[in-house]
Structures are given as C-alpha cells and as structure tokens.
Structure 1
Amino acid sequence: MKKAITDPQIQSNPSLLKKWGWLITIWFCSVLALFAVSSLFRFLMTLAGMKVK
C-alpha cells in the first residue's frame, strides 16, 4: 500500500486572525441564539399572564 505524500509547504495553518474570526463568529451566534430563546420564553410567560413590573 502506498502512503500519501504531503508537501508541508502546501499545508498551511490558518492564520491567527482567521482563528479569532471564527471564535468571535461562533460566540456571537451562540449569544444571539440564547437571546432568541430567552425572548421566546419571556413572550410565552407574558402570554400566560406573568408580567414583569
């Protein structure tokens, strides 16, 4: 069986800026999803008669 030949110059690690970009994007999306779910719960509780004073 032949082994794959890889050229280390072709395989480059993602830049630090790209890593931070993905981290911030995923964090922002998770915060947005949490906000959507909490808003939905608040809306449903308001419909049920529980109001915030």
Structure 2
Amino acid sequence: MVRVSSKETGRFGFICSIHGKQMMGTAKAGMLPASKVTGERMENAEQNSFTQV
C-alpha cells in the first residue's frame, strides 16, 4: 500500500482489465516507469476506505 502525505499535481494513466471481481493492468505516473496494478472487488461497499477529495 502506498500512502501519500502531501498533495501533488500530476498525470496518472491506468490501463486495466476487469474479469469478475479481479482487476489487472498497468499504471504510469509522469516520468516514472509503468507498474503492475492488481485489485479485487470488496464484498461490502462500506468496507471501502478511500475518500474523495
């Protein structure tokens, strides 16, 4: 998990495929190299800890 402690502006690109409850793909941020991204849908939406700013 990556935690961000300060607000920064930047461009982020995601290319992902969703199959059932699984998500897989890549993410790219500015000049940094692309990184693999994986995720799984949570059973209960109330468990989601993300907040929109």
For normalisation by structure 2, the TM-score amounts to 0.21
Higher strand share goes to which structure? Answer: 2
Higher RCO structure (Cα 8 Å, ≥6 apart): 2
Larger Rg: 1
Higher helix share goes to which structure? Answer: 1
For normalisation by structure 1, the TM-score amounts to 0.21
